[in-house]
Amino acid sequence: MGEAHVEMGMIHAGFKANGRADSAKAELKTRFLEANPRAEASDYHDWMVDNPDMYKSSLELHMSRFDDVLQRGEDEEKLSRVAAKTDRAELDLSGDSRKLFADRSERIAYDNLNECFSNDVLSAPGPDNFWKFETRDMVAFGDLLADARAGIQRNAAELHIELATAMSTNEQALRGTELFDALEELKRELHTWDSLLATAASPDKIKMREQAKKCADALEYSRKLHGQLLAKGETNPFVKYQLLATMAALGEKVASQYAARAGKASFSGLCEIVRDVPNRGSKGKEKAKKLKLGADDPGKGFAHELSELQTDLAKIDKTTADEMKTKLTKASYGVLEALKTWHDNYRDLKKLKTNLEALRVAAAKIAFGVKQYKAIADSVLGNENKFKAIGDRYQETFDAVTGQLQNDIEKGLDMFGSGR
């Protein structure tokens, strides 16, 4: 590839300088077109012109959420690495799929998703390898991969949106190619995967296995056509490298989501389930301490805060407060009960090791419920300025619930002492 690392370095530098705003703008356009299938780019432009205030607030919201992901990302990555070390040392689990899954049929998709764009694939010599990255290329590609992971983590519950955004950024170069059609198919499979994970706290494992395999097959076909496009002399650096990094990061993400829910229960899986709750701010862990969610009755502080929020919202708009209370009460999702189960199993090392499956079920219920709570708050309060301050308080309170799980995971790993 010659000077591949130079072009990758330029892409990475551009992302660091403008990535926050560029990603937000591209994603807003993608979401508009996804929500309006018959719309064209000109329709989106007209919407921006006709709704300047809504466009500005939406852009600011997307950028702030991107900032939140970057702010907490390093700590979460560090926690995941410690969890992986603890899995190996205490549970005899590792990235080796033979230990993560009960049988070969369950691990095929996991292996294929992880290996599709592995370092060995991208750097291997031979006439059939269209990348042939040298060491310095792999280092530069690692930076692009980290950028792609950040974007994908922001949209962990909507992976198809992240691919659609990458495709729209490179649409001129991709349109009319076989790769474009293959990516459209991959996007559809990712959309189905996203929808499956959104159906329940613990989706059917057989359905997950089947859909993970479909995602892996679509990703492999896209990889093949990407290589062929390069062989024909494709020169667009974003198609050659940025799109490649996006596909690689998507494969990793689906694999980790699949393992966390369908593989053997692990500390790494707990981390994955919690961090995939969408649109989390960076203050959740501190808010959890303030509400004393780590106390003997973790639901008490949560319920008390919701009561205070209800009272304060009623002072702004009683009708809206009543609507919020009705919807939150109806959508309980067993979060308070799951919080108690979670807390009861975080008392000693023996329970941590022997009751990991119960912890996974509890974490999944909590994460699923919090996701619904956050969506309800967004839908009820909308974008009205008069609700912004209290809307932020609701979101911080929901973030505190998953923040408590992260605090507990850290404490549990500290008790084992692995990887610290």
How much is the pLDDT for 95? 64
pLDDT at residue 126 above 80? no
pLDDT at residue 2 above 70? no
Q: Can you give the residue ranges of every domain in the chain?
A: 4-57+100-263, 277-416
- Cα–Cα dist 9/98, whole Å: 37
Query: Which segment of 66-70, 124-128, 279-283, 397-401 scores lowest on mean pLDDT?
Result: 124-128
Residue predicted with more confidence, 219 or 53: 219
Cα-based distances in Å from 264 to 105, 155, 213, 357, 380: 14, 25, 18, 8, 38
Q: Does residue 97 contact residue 111 with C-beta atoms inside 8 Å?
A: yes
How much is the pLDDT for 85? 92
How much is the pLDDT for 116? 93
Q: Taking residues 303-329, report their average pLDDT.
A: 95
Q: What is 407-419 written as a DSSP string? A: HHHHHHHHHHTTT
Residue predicted with more confidence, 387 or 75: 387
Look up residue 11 and give its two tokens.
Answer: 């892409």
Q: Does residue 347 contact residue 340 with C-beta atoms inside 8 Å?
A: no
How much is the pLDDT for 164? 93
Alpha helices by DSSP H, 297-348: 298-316, 318-330, 335-344
User: What's the pLDDT tens digit per position in 40-79?
Assistant: 889 999 999 999 988 988 888 888 888 888 888 888 889 9
pLDDT at residue 365 above 90? yes
